[in-house]
Each structure stands twice: as structure tokens, then as C-alpha cells.
Amino acid sequence: MAEAVVKKLSAVVLPALLLIGVYDYLTNFESNYCNMTYMYETPEYIPIPLHPDVHKQFPHYKLYLYGEGTKSYDGIPVLFIPGNAGSYKQVRSLASVAYRMSVKYSFHFNYFSVDLNEEYSALYGLTLQAQTEFVHASIKRILKLYQTSKTSSPCSVILVGHSMGG
């Protein structure tokens, strides 16, 4: 008898729970406040040559200039540092939005990004140390690029670190 009651009860309760779940799935929407980033020109990742000693010490790391359209070293330098196992190409979203917003202003940003070979920097301290030294060499190289520009040379670089390890 108890078994029959359990079967009848589950025959009613389980479909009711299923209907409640389907109803909630179809009607309970959260507002999406995220905006997509759009590019109106082809993104380019231009390799920046480093001193041979730096290249020898860090053969798997690279420095890139992100660009859409014209390339000149007359903006405010920004260096994007990807996080743990991150890609240098993650700079695209941030740089593209900044590029669109700067159209309204008399200044703009030049975005650089370091390729740290998508290493797991959060898991091993020596990797993080090597990446820190490479970023330091990259900052020096970025500032040297501006010494040849026609505008005044910046004395610092804005750093943007992404996620764990950046």
C-alpha cells in the first residue's frame, strides 16, 4: 500500500517539478548589460623587435603593437599583460574600444601586448620572475620607440594586467 502511494505521489510531483523548471527556464530572463566590442578595421599584431640579448634570454616571449588602421608612436603607451595561460591577442577588446572612444578626444592610446607563450605563471614562481623581467625589458623598448617620434616622449607606460598572473 505504501508503495502505491509513493508511485502516485511521484507521478504527480515529478511532472509538476518538470513543468515548474520548464516555466522558469522560458520566462525568467536576466537583463544582459554587456556590450559587444566591434572592430571596423582588421586587427593587426605587429611584432616589435627586441634587443638580441633580450631575445636570447627570453626566446619564447614576444612584444607586439596592436593596431587598427594607421600606426604611429604618438599616443599614450599602454602595455597589456595577459594572465595565467592568457594570450597576447586578448588586448583586442580593450584596445578596440579605447580606439573608438578616443576619436572624440585630442589624444589616443597605443596598445602593446606581450606574448608570454601562454605559460602557467600562477603555478610556478620562476616563470613569473622570467615574465616580470621580460615585461621590464619590454617597457624599456616601448619607451625607446617614442624617442624617435615627433611628439614629446613619455616617461612611463600604463600597465594593464589581466586575470590571475597578469
Which residues are catalytic, by number? Answer: 163
CA gap 53, 147 in Å, rounded:
21
What's the CA angle centered on 131, arms 137 and 145, to 5 degrees?
A: 25
Strand partners, 89: none
- The residues, ordered by sequence, that sit 6+ positions from 39 with a Cβ below 8 Å of its Cβ are 68, 92, 96
* Centroid of chain to Cα 93: 7
